[in-house]
Structure 1
């Protein structure tokens, strides 16, 4: 299979994007191997569709028509039609490409882009949680809470390069564990309107943080306030609200247990990387939490999990790095080499 992706130039750059349920981030790549520049973040809800957001971005930064676009999007990409899992946008990739008048428009899953970014991140972009450093020569996983919960894998291949494994692991059913963790999940099961099921994303996301807060408040016979995820994180960071502090502790421990399950599922011996919109804001609380204890809690595979690194990604726009890496792999000489031309 060939891909019509022209190499980037100053006059015809690549446009790379990372579009979630809340924010749409854009940047331009003007040469092969270059970092994205002129990065701008737009509110997705303020634009009717991807085309309108792209046009506003190009006008805002004074850029001409890009030669190719790669957008990392929150949801499964399986054909020409795409709808955001936690957003209102829906589109035809082919129609949008024609209206934008670009040579190539590609959508990839946002956590596929994050996975592709991992080999390109430096030490300054990462904070190791625990005492194990990652090994990019082995399979890796990346996951993270934002508006939703994303999960993907990255597998090195013989001879060089990587194969990303995008998936929808955030929608796996979350099973009760033990103690207060099990109690929290059992209570949230009742919130699901009789479905009798709760997914990881229902708990381990921005909206999930507010659900956990309501549970924690009620467990202390307190009336929960109408707090946003940012409010809860801010109060916990300030140490001004014990209920918010307990909520973040519970959130981090449950996230660790889920991350351990992802590591076991993907055999991610190279490391489990944490990304998304929520965790960088609470980095110091995450590092001081029981995340790692939750990660290693397993009746038979604790020793296996103990050897796996867990890493917080602190780079500001890693999905843009991954989108550029995808275009790099599918452009010019690399694309021709891949198909034996």
Structure 2
């Protein structure tokens, strides 16, 4: 009987897939470039093909975390023209169990399982036991999720915070927003706070059309224009994270996910991030007390998918162990 669950963290640019058993620990992680495939099915077929017939036969279900809303029957990536129907996906692969979740929902499920080595603190603060936690951050887009406690259970709530309108609180920000409005129309958070947003900020401020990776690399080399662009990005990020922390009352802590957060990790503590995070009168004191951590685990979305997949795997194992009932 199949007893493993295929788990996948599917972003706009790349995807990470693994197998998980009842222990919830991801194993045999494979990373794929989305550009190499026409869609979800093709990528999963290729992944299972690489694992071999025995591994494929052992898979009885899947948990797919996608960079987009996942609460309907049809699931679409926000920043890539990929979509699937949940019932069709389950039938196609013959899975007994199947779930699709937003990528930041999966990330939120994984936060309690992260260790000290998976996190970098930004400033001080002490988490309030049992209080809501905020998970947010830039990658291909800008993801937002909350982790709240109900009795002994933790419940994840998700939204599309990256599509909230972005305003300005300084002359420099007003200039950026005005440029983005000319190019994109109404400006939303992820127009600035995403990988493409970092590149856009740098181009507007310096005139140089660099990729986000190149901007970070130049800042790492000490190039002043790139570092200035990173500081502007991190100031905006701090302000938006502070807005969201107040909205959710995230006194249990703020966790910054997404590939861009990890890439910029060396710059946070010497940037305007924490000042902008706290500068929310009259609630500065509340935000000063709120701890902020960057998630630097290489595959944090898979940790969360593993928690969900482990629960599924337990049901498959229980089914195989259940004794046959005979009617006399």
What TM-score does the superposition give when structure 1 sets the normalisation length?
A: 0.87
Whole-angstrom distance in 2 between the partners of 1:73 and 1:282: 23
Aligned to 2:199: 210
| 2:278 pairs with 1:286 | no
Whole-angstrom distance in 2 between the partners of 1:312 and 1:97: 35
Given the alignment, which residue of 164, 173, 191 partners 1:172?
Answer: 164
Whole-angstrom distance in 1 between the partners of 2:176 and 2:146: 28
The runs of 4+ residues in structure 1 deviating greater than 4 Å are 329-334
Alpha-carbon distance change, 54 to 78 in structure 1, aligned in 2, over 3 angstroms: same
Segments of structure 1 that go 5 or more residues without pairing to the other structure are 1-8, 218-223, 337-341
What is the count of residue pairs matched by the alignment? 314
Aligned to 1:185: 177
1:195-221 deviation digits (Å, cap 9, x = unpaired): 3x210000000010111011111xxxx
Whole-angstrom distance in 2 between the partners of 1:42 and 1:148: 19
| 2:105 pairs with 1:123 | no
Aligned to 1:221: none
1:47-102 deviation digits (Å, cap 9, x = unpaired): 11211111211222332231110011011112211111101111111111111121
Aligned to 2:208: 225
Whole-angstrom distance in 1 between the partners of 2:25 and 2:183: 44
Matches within 5 A, 1:1-341: 12-30=3-21, 32-62=22-52, 63-65=55-57, 66-135=59-128, 137-158=130-151, 160-192=152-184, 195=185, 197-217=186-206, 224-239=207-222, 241-329=223-311, 332=314
What TM-score does the superposition give when structure 2 sets the normalisation length?
A: 0.91
* Offset, 1:332: 4.8
Alpha-carbon distance change, 138 to 330 in structure 1, aligned in 2, over 3 angstroms: farther
- Give the SS at the match of 1:59: helix
- Structure that is richer in helix per residue: 2
- Give the SS at the match of 1:102: coil
Whole-angstrom distance in 1 between the partners of 2:174 and 2:209: 24
* Offset, 1:331: 6.2
Alpha-carbon distance change, 69 to 59 in structure 1, aligned in 2, over 3 angstroms: same
* Offset, 1:38: 0.8
1:275-330 deviation digits (Å, cap 9, x = unpaired): 10111112111232111011011121111111111110111111111112223456
Q: Is the 8 A contact 1:237 1:282 kept in 2?
A: no
Point out which structure has higher relative CO (alpha carbons under 8 A, 6+ apart). Answer: 2
